[in-house]
Structure 1
Amino acid sequence: MRVGFKALAEKYGIALVQPLRIESQIGTVRTSHEVDGQVENRYPPSYRPDDSFSGHFEFGLKYEEIHLEFFSRLFAVTGPVPIEEWCKQSPFGQYARRTGFLYEWLTGKALDVPDTSNGGYIEAISAKHYLTRTGAVRIKRWRINNNLPGTPDFCPLVRRTTSVQEALQFNLDEALQELDQAFGADILMRTASWLTFKESRASFLIEKEADKADRIQRFAHVIARYCGRIDDPLSDASLHTLQEGILGHDAIGLGLRRSPVFVGQATMREDIVHYVAPQFDDLPNFIAGLKAFDEATQGAESLARAAVLAFGFVYIHPMRDGNGRIHRFLINDTLIRDKAIPQGVILPVSATITSSLDFRAGYDRTLDVFSRRFMQRYASAYRFGELVTYEDGTPSNFYFDDYADACFAWRYPDLTEHVLYVARVVEYTVRTEMAAEARVLVVFQIAQERLKEVLEMPDQDANRIIRSLKENGWQVTGKLQKQYPVLSENSRAERVINAVRSAFEEDFGEK
């Protein structure tokens, strides 16, 4: 016998974008099996709940997972009556109170039941099992501590799975200090400019625009100027500033879009739709919900916050263009604002994403956790028709027919896998990518010093000689001799080569 939330989903015909991960059944003994993220739990007969709304919902709250998309869809179908009956039958029961609170919070509609007048305050969701508000809001009516991390318009959830908890144990500050100790106290600041440019270039590689040199320079400037420094990064004014910096002030339709948008790819015959973003009229509420998450979770784990803010933004997709770059900008911006990394230091997370097939495929898989399931649910809900020019100047022939229904999913994304991915990317970035860059910088500086012991010259000339020798197998090319005739003398050229080469062939991994 199936029980809990899946029993209610089956009874009321609830179709979800994000499936319920747990299926509970009554059997003979208690067992649990997990395959590809789906969990099947069996319970002995003593666990059997009443075959009613309250019986199955209470069972779900006790033994299964919080699923706001499911709750909101379910409440829209059932209406208030079963919850009102439950609350009147069990006015002080914690599960009835939590359900009553969730109904009113998700629907914005008041239940016809009296306020709870007795009992201690209880958490809306478990802080042990979910990322929650750092300061709960007391709801006197239900004697509930509302610790949900967002608003009814946008409330992402992160499950504190064993994998997530382990990933969030990564001590970013300690890892950066280890880099300082290994390569010098100012190594992070001395590599800041290069890492900023590297992050920009890699970000455009993700967007498949690696040849856009001017835009790469613009985004590098945006990162260097605004990361951790821009006030209220999710405000309309700040998003406009970031987008203008990325795209240029002459770009059309800066600011929140006023047109439909989808993420996809063009072919000779048709556009392939990979993801549909929310209706433009709803964008202010979604952004307000994301900002509320930012404010509500101040003091929580920075890696988790950075992941939710970045991926939450990209799923909302509020701009005509530049969403992906702002999405990745928000990772560094959040970490700097949270003081998890020093001001001026940029983690080249985009470079890590593009550094290997595994990380690149992992990035796409992480985006697909929500978007692929979304498109499976709404595969027949979009079409291409008459071309219309919208208020922001965008001509579009794209139509989506299920905005209202899709809001149930857009508002309540499960971003657990996204937090796990970002935590792993950041750890690899610091321990591998930044360590490698620091090592290269140290070697290059030593090569400069040794070269100048043979030939005194400005840094710019030394850099040019070092790069040429390294790139040409430790040979002085004719072009280099023409630029620096002194290298035509064999004995001096040999001394220069040996000086530079010695720096690259020694191990400067640690001081």
Structure 2
Amino acid sequence: MVLAKRAKFFDEEVYPEPEAELVGYAWLINEFHLRVPAPNSICAIVPAKNAKRSKGRWLIWGSRYQPKAHWFAQLTFALKYEGVDLAIMRSLFGVLVIEDITASIENEITGSYSRRIWFFYEWITAQDLPIKDITNGNYADALNEELQFGCAKTKVSRQRINNNLPGVNGFCPLIRKTEKLVQHIEENLDQKAAKNIGNVHSDLLARAAAFLLLSDSKASYTIEGEAPPHNRIERWGKIIGQAGMQPLTVEEIERLQEVVIPDRRFILPGIRCVGGFVGEHDRVTNVPIPEHISAKPEDLDELLAAYLSAYELMKSSGFHPVLAAAIIAFSFVIIHPLEDGNGRIHRYLIHHVLAESGFTPKGVIFPVSAVILEKIEEYKAVLEQFTQPRLQYVEWKPTEDNNVHVTNETADLYRYGDMTCQVEFLFECVKETVDTVLPEEVLYLERYDEIWNYVNNRFDMSQKSLSLLLNFLRRSNGQLSKRAKTKELSALTDVEVKEIESKYQEVFSLD
């Protein structure tokens, strides 16, 4: 009797082939038992010499790509084919012996990958290795921009490296250069939006902008499962309309929370000084059941300082505004620095970055929350795509007040990560806004004005009655209800009703 081989797993993924071997970042995680989230894509070597294909999360390489079973060779493979993963490198550098790191780098001191590993060690750890500066040779990019999006380059003479990382060592999520993102960027959606509204009358544009602001504010509350009074929706809409006008600081974040949550009796306002999580409580014991655990309160000052420094770097170095908006907005809600209000401020930050960069046309705020509301399940999946893999690396215990108290070091889970999925989602929302939402709202107002003028010129009707008439028609797809004809608008004859309905359907191109 021949026993079947047991399936091998890595990060809950079965190996793509029985003879496959881990390589690159996966090999490093497995070999050194690193407590760090695995890459979104996992690399493996198979016996077929020239294989190069993908299967689910697996990137499969032939045996001719096989590096030596040594951390330096495996990290070189990872940098060459997988790109930069700062969290894995930081964890790896924490378990290696300094003498081994130094000797491995000096063995290939002029090689670009050796110099990049040297640079990353000193950049991540803020500690110098006992190696003399390189004095000649070409500069190599820290980030391979064929694989990932980088910022403007800053020369680092010590290793002769161009630092093009879109962040600082305390905060630097990265984005893979996917075909989808390249296509989105080439569409120049900001220019397209400006062109689309360039021919719109200023009065019409102002009305469209006012409606979209209110719509976005209401949607942002709806996403949180709230239905506040209209005055709170209007107040938050006004704040959204001012996005990009004030510098992003800790004080500004706290001011925004005051607007979002005016009743502060039931929360501790400002940056959290206690633990936090997103999830439920057990119905019987009331013990937390976290879906996501926030950054530790003692890490928040350092994390937010690095987060804001990274944003300033992105702004000053020409990083694409939608890429920056996704990193800044999604990282905020993942760090979760406030006791309450994180979700609405997270979506506000999208507006802030796009407006401050000039990506959003002047006088218009993209109604991103309204678009997100239409994609709510996808939005939740995008959030979970980043948070779920990290939950297993957070050790915690419940507190007396049924909160969570994190007992291990977790700051790196919020500093680094691959935000490609989040950026692709935001770009889709921006694209839908530019291609569909803005043009449709302008078109609706143009048609509304046309039917308004038609009825106003035909009948001596008050503005209140006329507005009521058009609302009834809009709600009933161009036909007045029996109630409207017999009560509020009973003064209209059957012939007049038919005439108005026919004109409304013609103007709004209704069948």
The reply to whether TM is greater than 0.5 is yes
Deviation, structure 1 residue 266? 3.9
TM-superposition CA deviations, 1:35-82 (whole Å, max 9, x none): 3333222232xx443332322222222233211111011111114222
In structure 2, runs of 5+ residues without a counterpart are 1-20
> How many residues align structurally?
484
Q: CA, structure 1 residues 81+457, in 2 after alignment: closer, same or farther (shift >3 Å)?
A: farther
8 Å CA contact 1:22–1:41 kept in 2: the answer is no
TM-superposition CA deviations, 1:251-303 (whole Å, max 9, x none): 64332121111111345334321101111222122222222332222322222
Q: Which of 366, 374, 378 does residue 362 from structure 1 map onto?
A: 378
Q: Provide the rounded CA distance (Å) in 2 between the counterparts of 1:50 and 1:2.
A: 12
Q: Which residue identity is paired with 1:344?
A: G
Q: Provide the rounded CA distance (Å) in 1 between the counterparts of 2:258 and 2:420.
A: 31
Q: Which of 225, 248, 270 does residue 208 from structure 1 map onto?
A: 225
Compute the TM-score of the two structures, normalised by the length of structure 1.
Answer: 0.87
Write out aligned runs for 1:213-362 (5 A): 213-224=230-241, 226-229=242-245, 231-233=246-248, 235-248=249-262, 250=264, 252-266=267-281, 268-269=283-284, 270=286, 271-298=288-315, 299-355=318-374, 359-362=375-378
Q: Provide the rounded CA distance (Å) in 2 between the counterparts of 1:157 and 1:130.
A: 7
Q: Which residue identity is paired with 2:507?
A: E
Q: Provide the rounded CA distance (Å) in 1 between the counterparts of 2:35 and 2:112.
A: 28
Residue 329 of structure 2 aligns to a residue whose secondary structure is helix
Q: CA, structure 1 residues 362+176, in 2 after alignment: closer, same or farther (shift >3 Å)?
A: same
Q: Which residue identity is paired with 1:398?
A: V
8 Å CA contact 2:148–2:176 kept in 1: the answer is yes
8 Å CA contact 1:32–1:40 kept in 2: the answer is yes
8 Å CA contact 1:132–1:297 kept in 2: the answer is no
Q: CA, structure 1 residues 497+256, in 2 after alignment: closer, same or farther (shift >3 Å)?
A: farther
Q: Provide the rounded CA distance (Å) in 1 between the counterparts of 2:154 and 2:405.
A: 40
Q: Which of 377, 383, 389 does residue 393 from structure 2 map onto?
A: 377
Q: Are 1:436 and 2:437 counterparts? A: no
Q: Provide the rounded CA distance (Å) in 2 between the counterparts of 1:20 and 1:450.
A: 58
Q: Provide the rounded CA distance (Å) in 2 between the counterparts of 1:417 and 1:478.
A: 49
Q: CA, structure 1 residues 451+363, in 2 after alignment: closer, same or farther (shift >3 Å)?
A: same
Q: Which residue identity is paired with 1:43?
A: S
Q: Which residue identity is paired with 1:474?
A: Q
Deviation, structure 1 residue 174? 4.0
TM-superposition CA deviations, 1:393-429 (whole Å, max 9, x none): xxx6421222x1x223221021010010100111112
Residue 23 of structure 1 aligns to a residue whose secondary structure is strand
Aligned to 1:15: 35
Aligned to 2:8: none
Residue 392 of structure 2 aligns to a residue whose secondary structure is helix
Q: CA, structure 1 residues 478+127, in 2 after alignment: closer, same or farther (shift >3 Å)?
A: closer
Q: Provide the rounded CA distance (Å) in 1 between the counterparts of 2:467 and 2:96.
A: 71
> Which segment drifts farther, 146-155 or 113-122?
113-122
Q: Provide the rounded CA distance (Å) in 2 between the counterparts of 1:199 and 1:478.
A: 32
Q: CA, structure 1 residues 320+265, in 2 after alignment: closer, same or farther (shift >3 Å)?
A: same
8 Å CA contact 1:2–1:26 kept in 2: the answer is no
Deviation, structure 1 residue 101? 1.1
Q: Are 1:87 and 2:121 counterparts? A: no
Q: Provide the rounded CA distance (Å) in 1 between the counterparts of 2:84 and 2:441.
A: 43
Deviation, structure 1 residue 368? 0.8
Q: Provide the rounded CA distance (Å) in 1 between the counterparts of 2:155 and 2:465.
A: 66
Q: Provide the rounded CA distance (Å) in 1 between the counterparts of 2:169 and 2:156.
A: 15
Q: Which residue identity is paired with 2:432?
A: Y
8 Å CA contact 2:87–2:416 kept in 1: the answer is yes
Q: Are 1:147 and 2:153 counterparts? A: no
8 Å CA contact 2:25–2:39 kept in 1: the answer is no
Q: CA, structure 1 residues 81+171, in 2 after alignment: closer, same or farther (shift >3 Å)?
A: same
Q: CA, structure 1 residues 26+488, in 2 after alignment: closer, same or farther (shift >3 Å)?
A: closer
8 Å CA contact 1:83–1:99 kept in 2: the answer is no
Q: Which residue identity is paired with 1:352?
A: V
Q: Which residue identity is paired with 1:265?
A: E
Q: Provide the rounded CA distance (Å) in 2 between the counterparts of 1:55 and 1:490.
A: 84
Write out aligned runs for 1:122-141 (5 A): 122-134=140-152, 136-141=153-158
8 Å CA contact 2:151–2:314 kept in 1: the answer is yes
Q: Which of 416, 427, 431 does residue 427 from structure 1 map onto?
A: 431
Q: Provide the rounded CA distance (Å) in 1 between the counterparts of 2:38 and 2:68.
A: 26
Deviation, structure 1 residue 481? 7.1
Q: Provide the rounded CA distance (Å) in 2 between the counterparts of 1:300 and 1:212.
A: 39
Residue 350 of structure 1 aligns to a residue whose secondary structure is helix
Aligned to 2:506: 505
Q: Provide the rounded CA distance (Å) in 2 between the counterparts of 1:53 and 1:272.
A: 38
Q: Provide the rounded CA distance (Å) in 2 between the counterparts of 1:480 and 1:149.
A: 62
TM-superposition CA deviations, 1:198-249 (whole Å, max 9, x none): 111111111111355443233212212x2122x212x022112211111127
